C-alpha cells in the first residue's frame, strides 16, 4: 500500500501593508499625512514669535498676519492643486498684476462700470491659464519652460501696455468710478470681531481651502488630479481625461490670480505694472512647505494653508521682533529647506516597517 505523505507545514503569510499600517502607532500614522508636519512647524513658528515679539501677541498684529497669509494662501491653493497634478506655473505672480491692470484700464480708459473691467479681467486670466495648459499638453514640453515664457511675456506686456495707454508705469485711480464700492465690498472690505479689524480675504481664503479640500477628497475630479500627477500614462489608460484635468488646473491658477488681482486693485485703487515678479516662488514655496511634492501625485489643500500662514508669521514676525528685514528671504530659504527635509523624514519614518 502506498503511504500518503503528511501535509506540509506552512508558515502563516507575512502581514500585508494594510495590516502593517493598522499596527503602526497613531503618532506615525498621523505623521504620514503631509499636512501634519507643516502644522507642527507653523505651531513652532507661532510660539517662537509669540515669545520674542511682544507686539505679535496683540489682536491687531494677528489680524495683519492673517491678512498677509490670506493674500499668499489664496494663490497657494490652486498652485498646490496644479503641483499635485504634476505641473508648475511660474507666471502666477505676474498674472495677478495682469488681472489688476486689465480691470483697471478697461474700466478707466473706456469709462465703464468697474464690474465690466472685472469680468473682462476674469476672461483674460482664464485665457492665460488655458494657454499655459494647452501648450503644456499639446507640446509635451515641461510646464516650467512654458510658464517661464508666459512669465516673461506678461512681464513685458504689463509694463509696455500700461505706459502706452496711461503714459505712466501705474494705472489711474478708479476709486470714484461707478461700481467701485460694490466691488470693494466683495474683494477688499473689512469686518470687526471683538474690536479687531479683519480683511475679507481671510474669509475667502478659508472658504477656498474648504472647497479645495472637498474637491480633492470627495469628488471624481480630485481623483483625476492625483492620478495625472502620479502617472499620467496610467491615468489615461484607465479613462482619466488627462488633457482636460491639466488645462483646468492651469485655469484654476488663472482664477486665483484674478481674485488676488481684484483684491489688490480695489484695496489700493491703483496698480504698479512692475509688481508681481518673484511672488510665484512664494506661492510654490508655500505649497511645498505644505507637503506638495515636486514630482506630483501627493499633497493636500490644508497643508498650503499652514504653509501660507507660516509665511505670514515670518514676514511680519521679523518686523514685530525689531530685526533687520533684510534677513527675511534668508529666513524663508532656511524655512523652506527645513520643511522639505522634515517632510521627507516624517514620510520615511511613517512608512518604515
pLDDT at 288: 87
Provide the 10 A C-beta neighbour count for residue 344. 12
Angle between helices 328-351 and 302-320 (to 10 degrees): 140
**Per-residue pLDDT reduced to its tens digit, 110-146:** 989 999 999 999 999 999 999 999 999 999 999 999 9
Would you state the pLDDT for residue 352? 59
Predicted confidence at residue 125, as pLDDT, reads 97
Q: What is the pLDDT of residue 309?
A: 93
With cut-offs at 50, 70 and 90, classify the pLDDT of residue 7: very low
pLDDT band (50, 70, 90) for residue 43: confident
Contacts of 256 (CB under 8 A, 6+ apart): 74, 75, 77, 78, 79, 92
Task: Report whether 73 contacts 279 (CB < 8 A).
Answer: no
How many angstroms separate the Cα of 111 from the Cα of each of 9, 105, 264?
A: 88, 9, 20
Buried b (16+ CB within 10 A) or exposed e, 172-210: bebeebebbeebbeebbeeeeeeeeebbbbbebbeebbe
Q: Once rounded to an integer, what is the mean pLDDT over residues 294-320?
A: 88
The pLDDT score that the predictor gives to residue 118 is: 96
Is residue 37 scored above 80 in pLDDT?
no
What pLDDT score was predicted for residue 9? 42
pLDDT at 207 over 90: yes
CA-nearest of 244, 299, 297, 240 to 86 is: 297
Average pLDDT over residues 322-342: 75
Instruction: Report pLDDT digits (tens) over 211-262.
Output: 999 999 999 999 999 999 988 889 999 999 999 999 999 999 999 999 999 9
185 or 294: whose pLDDT is higher?
Answer: 185
pLDDT at 28: 59
- Residue 350's pLDDT band (boundaries 50, 70, 90)? low
pLDDT above 70 coverage of the chain, percent: 86
pLDDT class of 29 with cuts at 50, 70, 90: low
Q: Which pLDDT score, from 0 to 100, does residue 8 have? A: 42
The predicted model gives 62-66 an average pLDDT of 94
Find, among 118, 14, 23, 16, the residue nearest to 350 by Cα. Answer: 23
**Would you state the pLDDT for residue 222?**
93
At 141, list the grid cell. 514640453
Name which of 42, 32, 33 is nearest 213 in CA terms. Answer: 33
Reported confidence tier of residue 321, pLDDT bands at 50, 70, 90: confident
| Residue the block writes with cell 510660539 | 47
Rg over alpha carbons for the chain, rounded to the nearest Å, is: 24
Q: Give dist(CA 349, CA 338) in Å, integer.
A: 16
CA 187 – CA 122 distance, rounded (Å): 13
pLDDT tens-digit map of 264-277: 999 999 999 888 88
The reported pLDDT for the residue numbered 334 is 78
Predicted pLDDT of residue 348: 66
Given a cut of 70, whether residue 81 has pLDDT beyond it is yes
Mean pLDDT for the stretch of residues 92-100? 95
Phi and psi based region of residue 346 (left: phi greater than 0; alpha: psi -120 to 50; beta: remaining):
alpha
Residue 19 pLDDT: 45
Per the model's pLDDT, the better-predicted residue between 4 and 240 turns out to be 240
What is the C-alpha separation between 209 and 300, in angstroms, rounded?
10
Residue 302 pLDDT grade (very low, low, confident, very high; cuts 50, 70, 90) = very high
Burial bucket for residue 250 (CB in 10 Å: 0-12, 13-18, 19+): buried
Model pLDDT, residue 277: 85
The pLDDT score that the predictor gives to residue 346 is 59
Provide the whole-model pTM.
0.87
What is residue 3's predicted lDDT score, i.e. its pLDDT? 44
Amino acid at each position: 500500500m502506498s503511504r500518503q505523505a503528511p501535509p506540509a507545514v506552512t508558515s502563516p503569510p507575512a502581514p500585508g501593508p494594510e495590516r502593517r499600517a493598522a499596527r503602526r502607532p497613531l503618532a506615525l500614522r498621523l505623521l504620514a499625512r503631509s499636512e501634519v508636519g507643516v502644522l507642527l512647524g507653523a505651531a513652532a513658528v507661532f510660539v517662537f514669535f509669540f515669545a520674542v515679539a511682544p507686539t505679535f501677541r496683540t489682536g491687531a498684529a494677528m489680524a495683519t498676519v492673517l491678512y498677509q497669509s490670506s493674500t499668499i494662501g489664496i494663490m497657494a491653493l490652486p498652485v498646490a492643486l496644479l503641483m499635485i497634478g504634476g505641473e508648475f506655473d511660474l507666471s502666477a505672480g505676474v498674472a495677478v498684476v495682469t488681472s489688476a491692470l486689465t480691470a483697471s484700464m478697461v474700466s478707466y480708459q473706456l469709462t465703464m462700470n468697474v464690474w465690466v473691467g472685472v469680468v473682462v479681467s476674469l476672461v483674460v486670466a482664464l485665457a492665460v491659464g488655458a494657454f499655459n495648459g494647452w501648450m503644456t499638453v499639446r507640446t509635451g514640453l515641461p510646464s516650467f519652460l512654458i510658464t517661464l515664457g508666459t512669465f516673461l511675456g506678461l512681464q513685458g506686456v504689463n509694463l509696455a501696455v500700461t505706459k502706452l495707454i496711461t503714459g505712466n508705469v501705474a494705472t489711474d485711480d478708479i476709486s470714484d468710478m461707478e461700481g467701485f464700492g460694490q466691488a470693494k465690498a466683495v474683494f477688499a472690505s473689512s469686518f470687526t470681531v471683538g474690536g479687531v479689524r479683519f480683511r475679507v480675504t481671510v474669509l475667502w481664503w478659508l472658504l477656498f481651502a474648504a472647497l479645495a479640500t472637498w474637491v480633492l477628497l470627495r469628488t471624481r475630479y480630485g481623483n483625476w488630479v492625483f492620478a495625472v500627477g502620479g502617472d499620467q500614462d496610467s491615468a489615461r489608460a484607465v479613462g482619466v481625461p488627462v488633457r482636460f484635468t491639466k488645462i483646468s488646473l492651469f485655469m484654476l491658477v488663472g482664477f486665483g490670480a484674478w481674485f488676488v488681482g481684484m483684491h489688490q486693485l480695489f484695496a489700493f485703487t491703483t496698480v504698479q505694472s512692475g509688481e508681481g515678479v518673484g511672488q510665484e516662488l512664494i506661492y510654490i514655496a508655500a505649497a511645498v512647505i505644505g507637503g506638495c511634492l515636486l514630482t506630483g501625485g501627493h499633497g493636500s489643500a490644508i497643508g498650503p494653508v499652514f504653509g501660507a500662514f507660516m509665511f505670514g508669521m515670518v514676514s511680519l514676525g521679523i518686523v514685530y521682533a525689531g530685526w533687520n528685514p533684510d534677513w527675511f528671504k534668508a529666513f524663508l530659504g532656511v524655512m523652506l529647506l527645513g520643511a522639505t527635509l522634515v517632510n521627507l523624514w516624517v514620510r520615511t519614518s511613517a512608512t518604515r516597517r
